[in-house]
Chain A
Amino acid sequence: MAAFAGFIVMLPLAGVAIAALGQDTADIAGRDIARYAMTSAGLALVVGVLTAITGTIAAWLVAMHRFPGRQFFAWSLALPLAVPAFALAYSYADLFDVAGPLRTYFRDALGFDPGFSMRSTGGAAFVLSAAFYPYVYLAMRSAFINQSVNVLEAAAMLGCRGRQTLWRVALPMARPALVAGVALAVMEVLADYGAVQFLSVQTLTTGIVRAWSVYGSTVSAARFALPLLATAAVLMWLERASRKGRSHETGRSRWREIEIQPLGHAAGWLATFYCSCLLTAGLLLPIGWLIWNLGASSPDWGRLAHAMQNSALLGAAGAALTVLLATMLALGTRRLPFVARLASLGYATPGAVMAIGLLAPAGVIWTITPGSGAAVAIVLLLLAYSARLMAAALEPIDAGLARVTPSMIFAARTLGRTETAASIAVDLPVARGAMLTAGLIVFVDILKELPATLILRPFNFDTLAVLANNFAIDERLSQAGPPSLLILALSLPTVIWLTRRIALARPGT
């Protein structure tokens, strides 16, 4: 069973490697691949640094200090996770357009033009940082909260105070979490298609989609995918390696809640201002602008409703399949940890790469059964989602199953259950909450997913993300707003529930 789940994940990865070996039909020079790769790398670097700084500061403030609005920011700072990055890109590009409201205002009121366009690598870095800083924020916040008070008190006794504690104790101890959080943000940057494509920044991922859609060449697409796959493996390894040290991060012996430092009046409001800025940049401003512009369009409600239904169904089916496979994998890999590590590779792999990898096996099926087009495409799409999001689901499920000690399973066996029955009676109920969490995470990610959906979807099968992308490509921005906002409407309640749950979680609960 676990082997089957592992196979599902490995299939597209192997597909990419095999496809890349094929005879090239599109004439894409190695030079272009190198140029796209440089852009991807530059973008990843800038976003990595930006998210590391902004996310860490936010986490440090929220986890260890008291200031106005702290409780609210604790969970709301993670909300940008509900917003697809391409929606941010549409909104910011429009806001900062030469004829857009911000620059018009500056020209009229102040007599100068800031001259900053979002349609640049710098702009893309800003948009993606605003979208992905929550990964660093969540990782660091949990690291700060979990650190042992004893260590902080020991630091205080040795003369370390305030910011010194951050630099000399808390930050070094939280370094594994920082690496993990930044690795996740960078993976998302490399996987992003919708935002960079709209901002006219050519990355490896846009290269993949273009090679496939414009030149119709799976081989070229696969060649763009190979460096991404390699990077994904490195990132995954980094993330895993950083996690190995985590047991140092939490004081295993006894856990006491951190003393929260009250900030002074001015400093407190400064902290509030900082957190508000992050939330504004990642959620309020861009989404507000999309909502503001709703009036300018007359959306095709029938088409939207249909796309929303498709998105919700794909999300639900994909979540169910992924959780099922991930649970099998988690139960099976108690004995085969290597398979789980392989499966995690999928998470770092961009959806576009997954899709390209699945095109080759799909071609075989389509040749054998020509009539099965749409159904096979949907199944492949679900497989691509599962392969891509397996690790995201695996992590909470693994954590949930960790509450089941080996002796509990042995106890169930001596109490008359067979191996399978013991697993059903103990493992599944204990991990139930974790499975729900995993399902919701996958659901939200599928709603936001664009490149794999674009490549694998059946003809005329629209999801909200595809619809938004199609309108945006045609520069019908006001019309790209409604589908983007509908994605938010579907994902926001889920993300609020998830982040509140994560934000309120304390060790030992």
Chain B
Amino acid sequence: MLRDVSRRYAAREVVKKAGFALHPGRITCLLGPSGCGKSTILRMIAGLEPVDGGSITIHHDVVSAPGVLVAPEQRGIGLVFQDNALFPHLNVRDNVGFGIQSLKPDARNALVQELLARFHIGHLAAEWPHTLSGGEQQRVAIARALARKPVLLLLDEPFSNLDGHLRATIRQALMADLRDVGTTVLVVTHDPEEAMTIADDLILMADGRVLQTGAPSECYDNPVSLTAAQLLGEAICLPAHIKDQFADTPFGVLPAPGQTDGNALLIVRPKDVILADEGMPVTVLSARRFGRETVVAVARDAEEFAIQTRPAELAAGQVIHLQLHPDIALPRFLPCPPD
């Protein structure tokens, strides 16, 4: 629904020809580092900001294009802000009923009750926003946005204000409730774990551009670029040379079917390497144990990276050997960036 959308502030172009489509009834995550333009995209979809190039369409109607800006109140899009933006002068019931003043009081009350019940906050109907916990406020904000039965619900960094240990629980429960409602949802986040957990579809963004779209596992296993790979977690990048469907890498010769001949990069996740008696030699910088895993910082020539292995006694300065995990049937190669 977004086609080549651009947005610039003064001289800086923050969104550069971004394009993607959202699929009805699915939860899509827009993942990118802070300042990559993802919040701007959200605001452009909501109609709070104009587009400088390209277009945004909803059900084939153009709502945003240069010179075209359908007002936010006429788009039928719900937006839940990072700070929830509950109205401090209205209680929970009136906050949720704010957007449906056109309904008759009976119908309005019924809908509000239904939404409060669906999001398990019926008992808070008469409470004031400032008395609620962060998670409760968020449920109110989502119920308020859904009251207008939007075609699309936008969530801006919805879980960033919640405490670490509560976060996963609240996230899981809330996304389950949202799935029940069946609305199309677009979640903006910078947390790869969050994106991997809740998304049906993933959109990877960096520096104002859309890098990759697809299922989370597909994006994780087959990143289109080093940046895309790093967005979804740590990625180790090693030099490789491809010739005749095989790659010469620090781990030895690996199959590389379909790859073009020439220099390339081998992309490996920290979990994908194991300690072995022989293989790629690296020097241990430090080793730290986290529960059942050990995170080892190693150096290979001038390059430093971290790997995760089973517990092992390792000392700084020690030289160890790494091999690719045997489960990795097809390692991922990327063409060398032209530098």
Chain A residues in the interface with B (C-beta under 8 A) = 403, 405, 407-408, 410-418, 425-426, 429-430, 432
Contacts and interface: CB of A to CB of B under 8 A. Distances in A.
Given A411-B79, A414-B77, A414-B78, A403 B88 contact: yes
Contact of B85 (A407, A429, A430): A407
A430 B89 contact: yes
A415 B99 contact: yes
Contacts of B89: 426, 429-430, 432
A414 B87 contact: no
B98 A412 contact: yes
A410 B87 contact: no
A402 to B, nearest CB: 12
A392 to B, nearest CB: 24
Given A403-B88, A414-B99, 16 more contacts: A405-B83, A407-B82, A408-B85, A411-B79, A412-B87, A413-B71, A413-B72, A413-B73, A414-B73, A416-B73, A416-B101, A417-B73, A426-B87, A429-B90, A430-B88, A430-B89
Interface in B166-197: none
Contacts of B88: 403, 430
A411 B47 CA distance: 11
Given A403-B88, A429-B89, A430-B87, A411 B73 contact: no
Instruction: Name which of A412, A416, A417, A432 has the most chain B CB atoms within 10 A of its CB.
Output: A416
B73 A410 contact: no
Interface in B42-81: 43, 46-48, 71-73, 75, 77-79, 81
Nearest to A417: B73
Interface in B316-338: none
Contacts of A418: 71, 73
A415 B83 contact: no
B148 A411 contact: no
B155 to A, nearest CB: 12
Interface string B85-104: 11111100000001101100
Nearest to B102: A416
Contacts of B47: 413-414
B81 A407 contact: yes
Contacts of A414: 46-48, 72-73, 75, 77-79, 99, 145
A408 B75 CA distance: 18
A416 B81 CA distance: 16
B48 A410 contact: yes
Nearest to B98: A415
Query: What 5 pairs between A and B have smallest CB-CB spacing?
Result: A415-B99, A407-B85, A407-B81, A411-B85, A413-B72
B144 interface: yes
A410 B85 contact: yes
21 contacts: A407-B81, A407-B82, A410-B46, A410-B79, A410-B85, A411-B87, A411-B141, A413-B71, A413-B72, A413-B73, A414-B46, A414-B72, A414-B99, A415-B78, A415-B148, A417-B73, A418-B71, A425-B98, A426-B87, A429-B90, A430-B87
A408 B78 CA distance: 13
Contacts of B98: 412, 415, 425
Contacts of B75: 414
Given A410-B79, A411-B79, A425-B98, A416 B148 contact: yes
B145 A415 contact: yes
Given A410-B48, A410-B79, A425-B98, A415 B144 contact: yes
Nearest to A431: B89
A432 B88 CA distance: 12
A275 to B, nearest CB: 35
Nearest to A403: B88
B274 to A, nearest CB: 45
